[in-house]
Amino acid sequence: MVNTDPNHVHTYDAHGRMTCCSLEEKIDAKSGTPHIHTQEHAPDDEDGHDHSHGEKPAWIEYIPCIISFALLLTGILFEQVFHPTFFKDYFKLIWYIVAYVPVGKPVMIDAVKSISKGAFFSEFFLMTIATLGAFFIGEYSEGVAVMVFYSIGELFQSLAVKRAKRSIKALLDIRPDTVNVMRDGQLKTVSPSGVQVGEIIQVKSGEKVALDGELVSDSASFNTAALTGESKPDKKAKGETVLAGMINLQSVSDIQVTALYKDSKLSKILEMVQDATSRKSQTQLFISRLAKIYTPIVVFLAVGICLLPYLFVSDYQFSVWLYRALVFLVISCPCALVISIPLGYFGGIGLASRNGILFKGSNYLDVMTKIDTVVMDKTGTLTKGVFKVQEIVAEGIERDELLKLTASIESKSTHPIASAIVQHAGDLAKGTNVGQVEEIYGHGLKGTIDGKVVLAGNLKLLKKFNIAFDTEIEKIVETIVVVAVDGKYAGYITIADEIKEDAGQAIKELHSLGIRTVMLSGDKQSIVSKVAETLSVDNAYGDLLPENKVEKVQALKDQKRTLAFVGDGVNDAPVIALADAGIAMGGLGSDATIETADIVIQNDEPSKIVSAIKIGKITKKIVWQNIIMAMTVKVIVLVLGAGGIATLWEAVFADVGVALLAILNAVRIQRMKV
């Protein structure tokens, strides 16, 4: 029998004493879930406990239950099998009292505390009455058994939440947890939490900036798609602000820190995980409200079962009807529900975390089961937000020759577009003889490659040198690099944002679930339409300002659609707040978007949208399995108990046994694949 408040459970302190706390507090106190230690704290060990402050190891909390169970089992063997002459009367009573105290004393203490706070109908009070009543009528072993199996249920729950904690912690460990800082003229690798404001950190090419700061290097280029909502990389000059979450695209950059680690995006995500269980699902809230009404009714019914038969039964025996009342009292406690339902939802949060998804509350698991429309931003959500070569069109020259010449001259530039072309060319440009290269500001490059004069840049470059070209290319919407060789137009290379590898599969799976897909973007309609056609998105709208996105989402909500919006930039935050479920791409997502979102996808994969929906449905299915199982068994045994057929042993099974089965069923969630 356990607490009738689904978020109010027990834990044990360092001395093995049971204490009373909420599910979230219990999870933290027993190192069970989301209070994850950041770098400011010592890391947990394998058992999930932090021993850096002298805490006793996890096995300490098992001792009371082990002692009581051993004494109970020995007592039953004495009674039923060996029948020693000394095991009777007062010795037998003392034996079971000693067995009862390790697990029963903490419950009695909590019963007194609950009564002092006005909570007369707490599970502590009910268990104390039921077990002491069993002792009163001589059913010592059954009284001890109720407490022992209750404690076993608590231990199972503790193990379950520890598993969920490890899943979440493993997810967060993929975040940057070291930074290179310049100290005493040497570069040292330290935890971001140990870096002070004013210190210089060094970020290599391809690394994510872990702390906010100002650029010390003369210049650098960063991927800022997550912060701006635009795919074009941002070139920073010395003294300009660089934000946590940006990715260095080029050479090593020095940054002077302007904000502590605790104020960074990483710390905010940790806080989100810690608060994940504070938002309850409708099912949890219903069970909580039900328990407040249900428990007093059960107590009065038990009193009625004990006393009312005196008025109607000729051979009334108080001990017989008291026993039936105690059986009824033990059976009726809704522990299987109040333990397994929160644990089931938390298991769903743990499963999501293991798959790179952070749910900010169990209520959003329910919401995801009802989604019928998914609205997505383009840049950073369905596309990578980085430049990639899309098309190479040669005129009067071989395609490979065009790419070789262009890559050779672009290799002398540090611009991200130049880098994209060089990367695409690979080894093709190696061995070419590159002469002097001149950068024509705002236009492009001019140089000599293998004795040929090559121009590579925008259309203004060709116009500057009066080189004729096909005017149709002016209609191309993507970023374009035009090339001229020895004064003649030689073709062009288009550079565009690359579609994510799993974007097409994500749209396909959403359609298979009967979910409508919509794309909203600030990019040109022609680009948006092309991406939508490639991915088979149902509807796509471009040329949108942030307020236009809000209007589109509101129009869908006016159609009574239950929708999720997925985005990553600051400009997506208002729409995410409006949606039934706001989903942020957290790998590069802006702070504002991540804070506003209800769900954060850590690795930026669109396919995780489908996973989030499936996890919500899995969790709901398991929770309702537990509800149906618990209610069915309890109703059956309640009827048998009131009729004198069921004993306290059946009551223990109907209460603690079903609770254990429900816990094990809830634990299954964390092992499932999506």
Domain boundaries, the chain: 8-171+280-353+615-671, 179-266, 357-382+500-601, 385-498
Cα 549 to Cα 38: distance, rounded to the nearest angstrom: 36
Cα 493 to Cα 388: distance, rounded to the nearest angstrom: 10
pLDDT of residue 607: 93
Cα 47 to Cα 93: distance, rounded to the nearest angstrom: 37
pLDDT of residue 612: 95
pLDDT of residue 445: 93
The partner residues of 566 in beta bridges, in order of sequence, read: 376, 583
pLDDT of residue 32: 33
Cα 468 to Cα 457: distance, rounded to the nearest angstrom: 14
Cα 223 to Cα 228: distance, rounded to the nearest angstrom: 10
Q: Is 280 helix (H, G, I), strand (E, B) or coil?
A: coil
The partner residues of 223 in beta bridges, in order of sequence, read: 247
Cα end-to-end span (Å), the chain = 34
Please indicate whether the domains covering 179-266 and 357-382+500-601 agree at the CATH topology level. Answer: no
Distance of CA 170 to the CA centre of its chain: 11
Q: Is 496 helix (H, G, I), strand (E, B) or coil?
A: strand
For the chain, residues with pLDDT lower than 70 are 1-58, 153-154, 157-158, 160-176, 224-232, 245, 263-292, 333-339, 569-571, 586-594
Q: Is 91 helix (H, G, I), strand (E, B) or coil?
A: helix
Q: Which amino acid, 668?
A: R
Cα 231 to Cα 233: distance, rounded to the nearest angstrom: 6
Q: What is the CATH code of the structural domain delimited by 179-266?
A: 2.70.150.10
Residue 210 in tokens: 């872990």
Catalytic residue at 184?
no
Cα 446 to Cα 465: distance, rounded to the nearest angstrom: 11
Q: Are 619 and 669 in contact (CB under 8 A)?
A: yes
Residue 333 in tokens: 């406690």
Of residues 302, 3, 8, 290, the one with CA closest to residue 130: 302
Fold of 385-498: Calcium-transporting ATPase, cytoplasmic domain N (3.40.1110)
pLDDT of residue 73: 94
pLDDT of residue 542: 86
What's the pLDDT tens digit per position in 551-587?
A: 999 999 999 999 999 987 666 778 888 899 989 886 5
Cα 346 to Cα 359: distance, rounded to the nearest angstrom: 10
Fold of 357-382+500-601: Rossmann fold (3.40.50)
Q: Among 254, 377, 523, 580, which one carries the catalytic annotation? A: 377
